[in-house]
Each structure stands twice: as C-alpha cells, then as structure tokens.
Amino acid sequence: MEKIIYRNRRNTNSYKWDIIPSEYDKGETIPAWVADMDFAVPKCVRDAIIKSGRFGVYGYSFAGKDYYNNFIKWEKKRFNHTIERDWIRFSTGVVAAINWIVQSMTNPGDAIIIQTPVYHQFAESVKSNKRKLICNDLVNTDGVYTINFEDFEKKIKDNNVKMFIMCSPHNPVGRVWKKEELVKMIEICKNHDVIVLSDEIHHDFAFNNNKHIPTMSISDYDKLIMLTSSTKTFNLAALENSIIIIKDKKLRDIYDAKTSDIHESSGNIIGYIAAEAAFGGGEEWLEQVKSIIYSNYELLKKSLLGKYDKLTISPLEGTYLAWVDFGAYLKPEEISDFFKKKCGVIFNLGEDFGGDCKSFVRINLATSKKNIQTICSRIKQNL
Ligand SMILES: Cc1ncc(COP(=O)(O)O)c(C=O)c1O
C-alpha cells in the first residue's frame, strides 16, 4: 500500500506555511487555514512529473487523450456520472472559471445568489465584477446546516436573479447535499431561468454514508455548469489545471469565446500530466488520505469536546475543513488574536465566509495527526 508522506512545507514558498505574519510566527506557528494538504502527491503523479522533467522539452502542447479518458472514467466509477469528451473545457482554476463565466454569461448589475456562509471567492467574484450579491443564509441547527428553500426562491424572484453559485460539497459547513436538496435547488433555478454554477471541487471528500452526487448527473437542466478539478483531490493547486463541464452547446460557445478572447483556452503541460496520472492511478492514495483526514476530525472532536461541551463542531460529511463555533467561550472580537497570538495557530475566520459567523473558525484537517494534536493542546492550554 502506498505510504502517505507528510512534508514540512516551511520555506517552500507555501501560502499556507510561509505567509504567516512575522508578528505571530516564532517558527512554531501551525497554519491550518488555506485549503491545501501537507501530504506529498501520489507516487504515480510524482513519477509522471519526473519523467517529463527528464525529457526536458516544454514546447507548445495540448492535453493528451488519456487526460480526458482518465477523468471521464473517474467520474463514472466514483459517481456514476457519464460525461462526454466534448463537454469538457479547461481553466487555470475554478475561481478563474467562475469569474470568466460571471463576466460572459451575466451583465453588470445582474443579481447572483450564493448560500452563506460559503467560500469567500464566490462573493468576491460577484462584487468585483459589479454584479449584485444576494445571500441565501443556510440554517444552522446546532451545527447542522440546511437550506431555507422559501428564502432561496423568494430572493431569486424578488431580485430577478440570473445566476446561482452552488458549493457542493459545501465549504465551510461540511455538508454533502442530498439528492432531494439538489433536485429542489435545481428545480427552483429552472423555474426562474437561473444559470447554475455547481462548484464541485471538493467532490472526492465525502465521508461515511454521505455520497457526493454530481448535480449534472441528476438533472437535464440545460443551464447547469459543473466546475471541478484534480487540484483539491490530489493536492495539485499550484499546477492550475481545472475542469469545466458544459453540456449545453450555447453556453459552451459563450465559454469558448471568453477563453479565446483572453487567450486562456488551454493549460501547461505539467498540469495536464499530473491530472492525467492522478485520475488514472491515484485512487488508493486518496482513500488513505481520506482516512487520515477523518481520523484527524475525530481526534479534534474528542480532544476539544471532551473539555468544552458548549463547543459546536459541525458534522464532517464532506471536505477536509472542520467548522467550529467557539461562541460559548470567546467573544467575536477576541477570536483572531486568541488563536494567532495566544495559541500560535492560524485558522480561517468565520466572518470571511459571510452570514452571521463571527464566532466560527475553519480548521484545515489535511495535515499530520501530530499537528492536530498540537493545535488541540494549545487551544486547551489557553481557552
Ligand atoms: C469551493 C471552492 N472552490 C474553489 C476553490 C479554489 O479553486 P481554484 O484553486 O481551482 O481556483 C476552493 C479552494 O479552497 C474552494 O474551496
């Protein structure tokens, strides 16, 4: 069985490890914020990159047949989702694609709805493109999040919403949407002619009985676009290779015109090679990484809930991000300094995700057990 290798990423130009403000960092700070992993990628990916390194020629290239085949097989095997080669498009990142789609398929001033709290770049892509941001707050019942469908539909109607940016599985609340929930969201969007961008970048992280369902696999709604990649699943974010699936020819033509205008229709050869190898041979590695992540989640829960019973840790149905409410112990204005200065740990702050989440933090579990233990013991020493 392939060994999962934890790496010390300090001094490797890592966003997560090397962009910690020096006022907090005495060389011991543990960052558990940016959503990437501290594990080396699967051996098959390293080997493919090394092979290309040895070859040493990087002239103009395109994605090989197996890049598409391996991804198509992956989707079929893991999600029973049938994708045709023609539907697949490239982007340098899911966030880049969201922006290109917002720019090309909506107009300035159009309303776009998101479900807060949610990955902060969704709101950014709406605001920076001068569209109107509409928020459908998720309903938090003791840490378990559900959708307020009435509010969702009312806001779509009242604001003449043109686009919905969905997060599935949901970062940061850890939900893996059930079929009924997906069906209902799509139905409402279809009834009101709303384009759906289904960001499924966390698709491979669903735990226990929770099964990720590609939105496209349960709906024939033509205004549905799926965004995913190998980058979260296999820790390849810096290789900037994402996959956009657009079934509808009219929407695909709009996307193609946009990427052609900005000269971003294809990616770099290493990104293609890595994604092809990962989808082709990385499954065993992924399953092991998932079990490390889930046991880190259980460790976090056991360690913190054992001492602080008024803490709320949302169920980790999906993603590798724990969502924790410290509201019973810390005032919102204390949260940032408490973790950074007192504990020497860096988490994402809840307020960055929208909604009423000032007492929350998001903790990245994709690291070593030792780091999670240290994080917990530092919290326990100081809270
Ligand atoms: C929901 C979601 N979408 C997109 C991204 C980033 O994607 P990319 O690096 O491909 O732009 C993240 C990263 O954390 C994410 O959580």
Q: Say what the pLDDT of residue 27 is.
A: 80
**Which protein residue has the closest C-alpha to ligand 1 atom 7?**
94
Q: Are 364 and 35 in contact (CB under 8 A)?
A: yes
197-244 confidence digits (pLDDT tens): 999 999 999 999 999 999 999 999 999 999 999 999 999 999 999 999
90-140 confidence digits (pLDDT tens): 999 999 999 999 999 999 999 999 999 999 999 999 999 999 999 999 999
pLDDT band for 26, please (50, 70, 90 cuts). Answer: confident
Q: Shortest CA distance to 322 belongs to which of 330, 314, 332?
A: 314
At residue 324, what are phi and psi to the nearest 5 degrees?
-125, 130
Q: Say what the pLDDT of residue 88 is.
A: 98
Q: In a mutational test of the pocket of ligand 1, which residue from 201, 230, 243, 323 has the highest number of ligand atoms less than 8 Å from its CB?
A: 201
CA quadruple 23, 25, 31, 36: dihedral sign: positive
pLDDT band for 48, please (50, 70, 90 cuts). Answer: very high
Rounded distance, CA 130 to CA 92, Å?
22
Q: In a mutational test of the pocket of ligand 1, which residue from 171, 197, 362, 365 has the highest number of ligand atoms less than 8 Å from its CB?
A: 171
Rounded distance, CA 325 to CA 304, Å?
12
Domain boundaries, the chain: 15-41+283-382, 47-281
Q: Are 144 and 136 in contact (CB under 8 A)?
A: no
CATH topology of domain 15-41+283-382: Aspartate Aminotransferase, domain 1 (3.90.1150)
Is residue 99 within 6 Å of ligand 1 at its C-beta? no
15-41+283-382 and 47-281 share one CATH topology? Answer: no
Block residue for tokens 């079990």 = 291
Q: Say what the pLDDT of residue 24 is.
A: 74
Q: In a mutational test of the pocket of ligand 1, which residue from 94, 102, 205 has the highest number of ligand atoms less than 8 Å from its CB?
A: 94
CA 124–ligand 1 middle distance (angstroms): 13
Q: How much is the pTM?
A: 0.97
Is residue 118 within 6 Å of ligand 1 at its C-beta? no
pLDDT greater than 80 at residue 25: no
Q: Shortest CA distance to 166 belongs to which of 141, 203, 132?
A: 203
Rounded distance, CA 150 to CA 173, Å?
20
Task: For residues 334-355, give the mean pLDDT.
Answer: 95
**Which protein residue has the closest C-alpha to ligand 1 atom 14?**
35
Q: What percent of the chain has pLDDT over 70?
A: 100
Q: CATH for 47-281?
A: 3.40.640.10
Rounded distance, CA 361 to CA 346, Å?
10
Rounded distance, CA 254 to CA 265, Å?
12
* Neighbour count for residue 339 (Cβ, 10 Å): 27
Is residue 94 within 6 Å of ligand 1 at its C-beta? yes
